[in-house]
Amino acid sequence: MLALVLLVLSLCNFHTLVGSLNDEGFALMSFKQAIQDDPEGSMNNWNSSDENPCSWNGITCKDQKVVSVSIPKKKLNGFLSPSLGSLYELRHVNLRSNKLYGSLPSQLFEAQGLQSLVLFGNFFSGPLPSEIGKLNYLQNLDLSENFFNGSLPESLIQCKRMRLLTLSYNNFTGSLPRGFGINLVSLEKLDLSHNNFSGPIPSDLGKLANLQGTADLSHNLFTGSIPPSLGNLPEKVYIDLTYNNLSGPIPQNGALINRGPTAFIGNPGLCGPPLKEPCSDSEASSPSSYPYLPSNYPPQGPGDNGEGGRSQGLRKSAVIGIIVGDVIGICIVGLLFSYCYSRFCACGKRKDDSGYGFEKGGRRRRDCLCFRKDESETLSEHVEQYDLVALDPQVAFDLDELLKASAFVLGKSGIGIVYKVVLEDGLTLAVRRLGEGGSQRFKEFQTEVEAIGKLRHPNIVTLRAYYWSVDEKLLIYDFIPNGNLSAAMHGKPGITTFTPLSWSVRLKVMKGTARGLAYLHEYSPKKYVHGDLKPSNILLGQNMEPKISDFGLGRLANIAGGSPTLQSNRMTSEKPQQKQGNTPSEVATVASGASFGSCYQAPEAMKVVKPSQKWDVYSFGVILLEMITGRCPVVQVGTSEMDIVHWIQLCIDEKKPLSDVLDPYLAQDADKEEEMIAVLKIAMACINTSPERRPSMRHVLDTLERLPASSD
């Protein structure tokens, strides 16, 4: 009998201890039990002996009710317990950048007051439950960078207060729910990129009048024509439709007008401006190209041809005659100028005895009879050949000062020699000499170099001036003092000691390089491609800020003549430690320029002649791998070698621990491991063998910018 009494008393005691925690606390303890690994101890103070969970890490209460569960970036490994759905006052859930997996439990959406659900950067999979339609107050849904699949439930459009919808980098399929644009009119941000959405783009997307920034539908499988109604979106909205299966003419109205080709590339069936692919007559006359004109719109004036009308324009034969006459006239004028130039303007030149061997001939051009000072010409046309041409109004030196300056060779290659030049006033420049070819393609060279000279960005080396003569072509840049990224990562040839870069500096270099590339791809006047990005072409400024160099160098070298193509330099496989001296690619302090160049080359670059921006994305991904692993672009594996891309894939296949992948020098930044994992994910996306599946540099930059600014 005594033993029975003691047992009853002990059970009562246990119930009293456990019963001290309220129901919401029990729900959160169930959430904790579903977490298999909490390496940072973020839930260590979650104790069942507390009366309520309001003092627990990551928990926020209002009136003793849980309103927020926020545990981001804590390396939590496990699945999401359905018990969170019993927190009826829950408003915010933020579990981003953890290692949570499994599907979303439908019970989660029983918390119908939920306003924000942020789960990006985990390993969730499966479809989005249809119960999400119960969340009438949901404003922010971010499920990006997971493995969700299936189609979006029709019930999603019932979340009419939604302001931010981000589903990028998943495996969603199917069409967008009917009524998407009509119902979700409060949307301010829409990112559906890098999924497998298919079907036509809903025409009612044009009703999303509150959108800001980018409406991103890129890298999907959308088909059909572009709805003209998209032009109704706010004009400041950038509409990204790249890499889908869209076809037909691009509507020319509203927000779709004056968009560059980068908003539409990757859709082989699209035609019309701003693309170079013209539309056929049947496509061009399609009513979809002119959304505000009915198909039977009457002629616009007496010059138009309607049924029963007569053309008032010139006949076809007359137009052809005029064109032929113009061509003949232009040819005659060209021949006259050519004769005049060869007869009177063959300006001589003389060699200079300076250490450069540069040629002076700038003043002798003034004796030419064909080009007088009073002729109306642009600056560069007036300068013509044999003069130093300033591309920046702040350039105050002339050719004589440049030739008298102290000069030191920084490096040599097939593309020429790079000098460090110090003028008498102390100004330091980098001068690249493009060989001694005798090509006379001056106008072509002039056009290219002046276009490059207009580029101004803090993460791109600035071209200040150039010089051309028959046997001498010079490019004058800013001098960048801290060498290049290759030397900073692996040391310089012949020097055994160096200080590895900290994680904060590496992240700063990554972000700055991404900004420079995004500028070249999206915001520069001609939407350029670098084509030869590698660590030796990323220079480091006074404060270790990155500056992309050698942009356009290959084409300039080919035009100048006497130099191998840049492509051939990229295919060399010489090891850095075997290199004699420094390489020239720096336009500053240079090391190991063409070494392992092919490792940074996108696989398709060997087959496709025309460079693509996705080449640069691939190269950038390889550079990211190099920076987070500390490995050279070719990795020694046993007695064999493999490039770093295949090596990282081998590590993933063999499920190597993260410590075997990351640079050992980064151990001191162990608290930044989550950032390193995020960068690794970005790198893996960039090195996708399919160029269509690689993100754009704008996407890459956006993702990098989400990493803490304090690391910059």
Catalytic center residues:
532
Three-state DSSP string of 569-612: HHCCCCCHHHCCCCCCCCCECCCCCCCCHHHHCCHHHHCCCCCC
Task: Give CA–CA dist 132/160, Å, rounded.
Answer: 12
Torsion sign (Cα): 497, 498, 499, 500: negative
Query: Is residue 391 a contact partner of residue 383, using CB atoms and an 8 Å limit?
Result: no
CA-based angle 246:517:515, to the nearest 5? 110
- Residue 334 sits at φ, ψ, to 5 deg, of -60, -40
Query: Is residue 69 a contact partner of residue 90, using CB atoms and an 8 Å limit?
Result: yes
Task: Give CA–CA dist 62/55, Å, rounded.
Answer: 12
Nearest to 553 by CA among 448, 639, 637, 657: 448
Query: Is residue 644 a contact partner of residue 626, using CB atoms and an 8 Å limit?
Result: yes
Residue 596 Cα distances to 6, 465, 486, 612, 689, angstroms: 78, 31, 11, 20, 19
Helices 613-629 and 503-518: crossing angle in degrees, nearest 10, is 180
Task: Give CA–CA dist 216/574, Å, rounded.
Answer: 42
Nearest to 506 by CA among 532, 492, 485: 485
Supply 323's token pair: 């064109």
Q: Are strands 472-478 and 428-433 parallel, antiparallel or unpaired?
A: antiparallel
Torsion sign (Cα): 671, 675, 678, 683: negative
Query: Is residue 125 a contact partner of residue 146, using CB atoms and an 8 Å limit?
Result: yes
- AA letter at 497: T
Task: Give CA–CA dist 631/650, Å, rounded.
Answer: 14
Supply 367's token pair: 């004796």
Q: What share of the chain is helix, strand, coil (3-state, %, to 5)?
A: 35, 20, 45
- AA letter at 51: E
Place of tokens 């608290």: 671
Task: Give CA–CA dist 676/474, Å, rounded.
Answer: 41
- Indicate the Cα dihedral angle 689, 693, 697, 702, nearest 10°: -130
| 408 strand-pairing partners | 420
Nearest to 237 by CA among 188, 183, 289: 188
Task: Give CA–CA dist 272/279, Å, rounded.
Answer: 5
Supply 582's token pair: 């420094």
DSSP-assigned states of every residue in 539-560: EE-TTS-EEE--TTHHHHHHHH
Write the DSSP symbol of residue 152. P
Residues 6 or more apart from 302 whose CB is under 8 A from it? 312
Place of tokens 């001290």: 20
Task: Give CA–CA dist 683/231, Å, rounded.
Answer: 34
Q: How many CA atoms lie within 13 A of 497 on its CB side?
A: 0
- AA letter at 46: W
Task: Give CA–CA dist 537/626, Å, rounded.
Answer: 14
Place of tokens 């296949």: 653
